[in-house]
Structure 1
Amino acid sequence: MSLPDPSSLPESSEPAAAAADAQPASGAPADVAHPRAIRSFVRRAGRVTTGQAKAYEQWGDQFLVPYVPEALNLPATFGREAPTVLEIGFGMGEATAHIAGVMPETNFLCCEVHEPGVGALLKRIGEQGLTNIRICAHDAVEVLDNMLPHGSLNGIHIFFPDPWHKKRHHKRRLIQPPLVRKLAEHLVPGGYIHCATDWQPYAEQMLEVLQGEILLGNSSPHAHGYADKPHYRPLTKFENRGLRLGHGVWDLVFVRKPLD
């Protein structure tokens, strides 16, 4: 699978689940009271490096899953029967590759539309010999709607989504009640949603939205409602830098309740 020369590539995309210092995309409406549809990403500019382009060539056919609006056969896609976790917006794939390495018994279907990020994760897959990751370079909401049946996922990871700091942009945040209901419906009973953010106001909104979903229960043993960082999620370079500066990080882990 080939890409154009990196220097000739047009503007690419970066997911809504991006680094917390990301800024709103240029050209987007400034005030959106009710977006027409949920999207898991916003448009960004980006360039694919030579190494990332080589990774597309070498590993794309094996690890990229094309978006097709029909149910995905997960065992056939991964070549085995195993619990499946969906990751929405993996950025450059550092945490994704680490988690796949420490959880080899789990399959990871990862959605990301930012071409350099996809190339970077493909490069990590090849270098680390990972076999339990598949990438769908498409909007995760459409993947959920059209490729994944209800009750097909054992977990969902959303790490450091764009916090949209300005109040008038809060409606653009990914973690909103309609999406959380959609995510919950795709989990098996006992399956989990794990969100993480380093922006406290967004953490507070996430907690409110997740607690408001009747299909989910909070796994946190703490009165404040936030979870201890699960062992599998690594501290990224970005996160370590923030912690040194005194910034907090909040993890939230909610579990799908048993069916009635």
Structure 2
Amino acid sequence: MSETSAARPIRTFHPRRGRMSARHFDAHEALWPRFGLMITDGDRSPLDLTELFGRAAPVVLEIGFGMGDATASMAAAEPDRDFLGVEVHTPGIGNLLALAGEQSLTNVRVAHGDALQLVHRIAPGALDAVHVFFPDPWPKARHHKRRLIQPANVALLRDRLRPGGVLHCATDWPHYADAMAETLDADPHLRRLPATPHARPETKFERRGTAAGRPIKDLRYARV
């Protein structure tokens, strides 16, 4: 996932395939044709969000939703918004589809693949919000170039937001939080918003970070 070099793109994620449980497999078989979107390498065809969701409504893009519990919780709490989640972990995809089916959520769509390839297909100004919760911190210095929150990626995400739309990032790695804040503060078209308690549901990765004693940092910015 990334702005590409001349040779080959720098990925900001580990490609991950895991073993799906019977529940996840059954949900994938039943609901993927309706709710799923496969991201194909090199596909830059425009993505019609109104057609994807079957209605015109504010759309939230959730990059790296993990097991999807937080995404399903937000979708259930905000039925007037649509949630497009993108993930590479197959059990997480199966779990979000299962949650959507069990909770009768019609405002969720699930994309599998490279998030930035998907973002390139979304029209400028089309998103109400972008969520980047607990992305891979790539803690080793030689891997920092793989982090999602880089100036070029932030510019791309911000461009897809409507004026006033919100880019919301969260991490439990203090050094990454500092790097995120520096990058986001430097974008002249973003304005930092006050911290808002309980602005999102708790995620599994957040619980892990808290259990390990790492502080949780939320960073919210509006497109100006």
- How far apart, in 2, do the equivalents of 1:40 and 1:205 lie? 15
Distance 2:111 2:49 in 1: 13
Distance in 2 (CA, whole Å) between partners of 1:42 and 1:35 is 19
Distance 1:245-1:114 versus aligned 2 partners, 3 A rule: closer
- Does 1:94 find its partner at 2:69? yes
Give a deviation string over 1:176-204, Cα, whole Å, max 9, x none: 11100101111110001000001111100
Going from structure 1 to structure 2, the CA distance change for 1:35 and 1:239 (only over 3 Å counts) comes to farther
Q: Out of 143, 157, 161, which is 1:183 matched to?
A: 157
Conserved in 1, the CA contact under 8 Å of 2:125 and 2:160?
yes
**Paired letter, 2:102:** E
- Kept in 2: contact 1:38–1:141 (CA 8 A): no
Letter in 2 for 1:239: E
**Percent identity at matched positions?**
46
* Contact 1:35 1:172 (8 Å CA) reproduced: no
Output the amino acid matched with 1:122. Answer: L
Q: In the alignment, what sits opposite 1:249?
A: 216
Is 2:196 aligned against 1:228?
yes
Letter in 2 for 1:59: L
Give the equivalent residue in structure 2 for 1:130. 105
1:103 aligns with 2:78: yes
Q: Which amino acid aligns with 2:26?
A: K
TM-score normalised by the chain length of structure 2: 0.90
What pairs up with 1:127-166 in 2 under 5 angstroms?
A: 127-145=102-120, 147-166=121-140
The residue identity in structure 2 corresponding to 1:165 is P
TM-score by length of 1: 0.78
- Give the equivalent residue in structure 1 for 2:94: 119
What CA distance in whole angstroms lies between the structure 2 residues aligned with 1:56 and 1:245? 33
Counterpart amino acid of residue 166 in structure 1: K
SS at 1:193 equivalent: strand
Q: Which amino acid aligns with 1:251?
A: D
Question: Segments of 4+ in structure 1 off by > 4 A?
Answer: none
Hey, what's the Cα distance between the residues in 2 that align with 1:44 and 1:76? 29
Aligned letter for 2:185? Answer: Q
- 1:240 equivalenced with 2:207 (yes/no): yes
Structure 1 stretches lacking a partner, 5+ long: 1-14, 17-33, 221-226
Cα 1:124–1:177 change in 2 (3 A) is same
C-alpha distance in 2 between matches for 1:35 and 1:88: 25
1:45–1:237 distance in 2 versus 1, CA, 3 Å: closer
Is 2:26 aligned against 1:54? yes
Mark the structure with the bigger radius of gyration.
1
Residue among 191, 213, 219 paired with 2:187: 213
State the Cα distance separating 1:248 from its structure 2 match. Answer: 1.1
Match of 1:172 in 2: 146
